[in-house]
A = this chain, B = another copy of it.
Amino acid sequence: MAPHPTPDATRLGPGHAVLAFDVGGTDTKSALVDASGRVLGLRRTPTPLDSADPAGTIVASLAVLAREHLAAAPGIVPVAAGVSVPGLVDELAGIGMFASNLGWRDAPIRSIAETALGLPVAFGHDVRAAGDAEHRLGAARGYGDVVVLAIGTGIASALVLGGRPYAGGGFAGEIGHSLADPLGERCPCGAIGCLETIASAGAIARRYAAASGTPVGGAREVLDAATAGDPLARRVWDDAVEALAEAIARLVAILAPEAVVIGGGLAQAGPALFGPLGARLDALLSFHRRPALVHAELGDDAGLLGTALAARDLAGARRDGDSA
């Protein structure tokens, strides 16, 4: 596993003390943020899976984590918690609509988390939380219209349009499940030729293994093989870059973001990704507004930081409401 650096201690700045939970399909990241903005006790624990009561079991595990964080930092009293989850999320209603890895459907996660944690809960979507953190603290800062793309096992995105996050009722940003190849393979989502069947880090490794008969540890190995002259690896890598460039070009025609911030495992390829991606994008566009292609800044913890920001926003809004 990649090293897991502690986020810049000053990044979040002063504000309310909050708990933050970024629930992933495999692991859950959690931390306590103090009033000075320090991220305390950041840890990664396996997300419990329970097909009988997926949401209830996960929320119960968050309550256990909360007690442990509080016990480790006596004197810090969080006034709100943030909980972010993957899948389809209706932030306004507080509902986890669907998460293929976790198994819930239309689960009222915000309300059960508020009961279990005894705190007001800012409930959100993991990738939109990460996008919000990149927009407020990271590589998307200063842009009014910006797309934050996370390319890892799958491909997802967060949209900031006119300076505000756009969620489309919880369904927006699913660029990983936009059509890339009408003659492509069926995606586990049920549609044909989704971008993430070609261009996610997971797809690159899987497609190379399937074509070569040689299992690989990840997309990085495919890139290394391509660089070393393996024509099969080159084709798999180039197909991924082309599909990403075409998807970004289509996004540009519709939304004209000033920048596309790219994070997730695949972004670690750096210039080997950004160079050819930019060149193909230039070739595909004409009069369009060409976005800057920018490497994400906050890394793996962007989702947790965004979740903490959302909890602080909620705490601030409640306090303002009290004093009004």
Q: Which chain B residue has the least Cβ–Cβ distance from A187?
A: B286
- Complexed CA–CA distance, A98 and B174 (Å): 31
Q: Across the interface, do A166 and B162 meet the contact criterion of CB distance under 8 Å?
A: yes
Q: Across the interface, do B190 and A168 meet the contact criterion of CB distance under 8 Å?
A: no
A168/B286 contact (C-beta < 8 A), A178-B249, A179-B250, A249-B178 known? no
Q: How far is the CB of A66 from chain B (nearest CB, A)?
A: 31
Offer 26 A-B interface pairs, CB within 8 angstroms, sorted by A: A98-B287, A145-B169, A157-B254, A161-B168, A162-B166, A168-B257, A169-B256, A169-B289, A171-B256, A171-B289, A172-B256, A174-B254, A174-B256, A175-B254, A177-B286, A177-B288, A178-B253, A179-B250, A189-B286, A189-B287, A190-B287, A191-B284, A191-B286, A251-B254, A254-B254, A254-B255
Interface size counted on chain A using CB atoms at 8 A = 42
**Is A112 among interface residues, defined by CB-CB distance under 8 A?**
no
Which of the listed residues A170, A182, A254, A258 has the most CB atoms from chain B within 10 Å of its own CB? A254
**Is A173 among interface residues, defined by CB-CB distance under 8 A?**
yes
**Is A285 among interface residues, defined by CB-CB distance under 8 A?**
yes
Which of the listed residues A88, A190, A191 has the most CB atoms from chain B within 10 Å of its own CB? A191
**Is A246 among interface residues, defined by CB-CB distance under 8 A?**
yes
B-binding residues in A (CB < 8 A): 88, 98, 145, 157, 159, 161-162, 164, 166, 168-175, 177-179, 182, 187, 189-192, 246, 249-251, 253-258, 284-289
Point out the residues of chain B lying under 8 angstroms from A190, CB to CB.
286-287
Point out the residues of chain B lying under 8 angstroms from A249, CB to CB.
178-179
- Return the contact of A171 from the options B164, B246, B288 (Cβ within 8 A): B288
Point out the residues of chain B lying under 8 angstroms from A289, CB to CB.
168-169, 171
Point out the residues of chain B lying under 8 angstroms from A187, CB to CB.
286
Point out the residues of chain B lying under 8 angstroms from A161, CB to CB.
161-162, 166, 168
Q: How far is the CB of A2 from chain B (nearest CB, A)?
A: 29
- Return the contact of A145 from the options B168, B175, B254 (Cβ within 8 A): B168
Q: How far is the CB of A284 from chain B (nearest CB, A)?
A: 6
